[in-house]
Amino acid sequence: MKITNEYKKIVQIFGQDAIWDVPADWHTPTKFYPRGTFGVQTMKSTDKNSAFIIGDFVYKPGAYPLEWAVDGKKVFYVHEPLTITHLAVREKKKIKTEVWMVDDPLHWFAAKKYLDALPGGNLLVAGLGLGLVLLHALKRTDFTKITVVERNQNIAHYVKSWLPEDERVEIVVDDYYEYLPKLAHDIERGRSSPVDSVYWDLARGSSSDPSVKKSWEIAMFKTNYYLDGSVQVYHGFRVDGLLAIGGKNENNA
């Protein structure tokens, strides 16, 4: 590992212990996803059936925020160019594609940290994306059932085919907020098991953005209304420095 002057400055600012040095061969399982465009994009496409792109993005050498994803670490430092995976979608009437998810160290470790705050049992995940949450969840034997709700049918079909097979997993193609009352109805009638944990991961953008914060508030209200008694985490949001956890353990982190 070459020690550059820039790296020395970062050490002076944050301290050596607060830096996570990214190994040259670091990657997540999404590295092995095929690259390209999946699904057929037409002028009539909506975000429910839009084509999506799996591609690469390269982080140049330097320091990047790690925030609270890893205890005690503030930044991750890239010493050699780091290739990450991104998922992008072009929605109806939009010329440019929008990046929905990346698997950089911040998002990869943050997904695990939020998931670790949830108890086992029946897990409901709002949003599939690259499958980062699901990849972490599959490693936990205490999750007895894992249901992922993804509104984009192309993402649900293709990404599912690239993930490890596990009989506990069910991918539901639906809008999360439209799915909630149907799920609550089935639980009430004994057709579905009560949900123990909810991982909400539908926000895009900064949590400081008022519209993004509003989406979180709506998600928490509706999830608590339909799945009262579940423990929930909302990816990207923190309250008083702690993970934003709702439901019966809303004051815990």
CATH 3.40.50.150 domain range(s) in the chain: 107-247
> pLDDT digits over 167-184, tens only?
999 999 999 999 999 999
Instruction: Please name the fold of domain 107-247.
Output: Rossmann fold (3.40.50)
Rounded to whole angstroms, the Cα distance separating 180 from 161 reads 25
Residue whose pair of structure tokens reads 């993004």 in the numeric block: 212
What is the reported pLDDT for 240?
Answer: 47
Residue ranges of E strands in 66-120: 75-78, 82-89, 98-102
> pLDDT digits over 195-211, tens only?
999 999 998 766 677 88
What is the reported pLDDT for 7?
Answer: 95
Tell me the H-state helices in the chain: 5-14, 105-116, 132-137, 153-162, 176-188, 210-226
What is the reported pLDDT for 31?
Answer: 96
> pLDDT digits over 33-57, tens only?
999 999 876 656 666 778 899 999 9
pTM of the model: 0.90
Give every residue of the chain whose pLDDT is below 50, as ranges.
240-241, 249-253
Asked whether 57 and 102 are in contact (CB, 8 A), the reply is: yes
In angstroms, what is the C-alpha Rg of the chain?
19
What is the reported pLDDT for 68?
Answer: 83
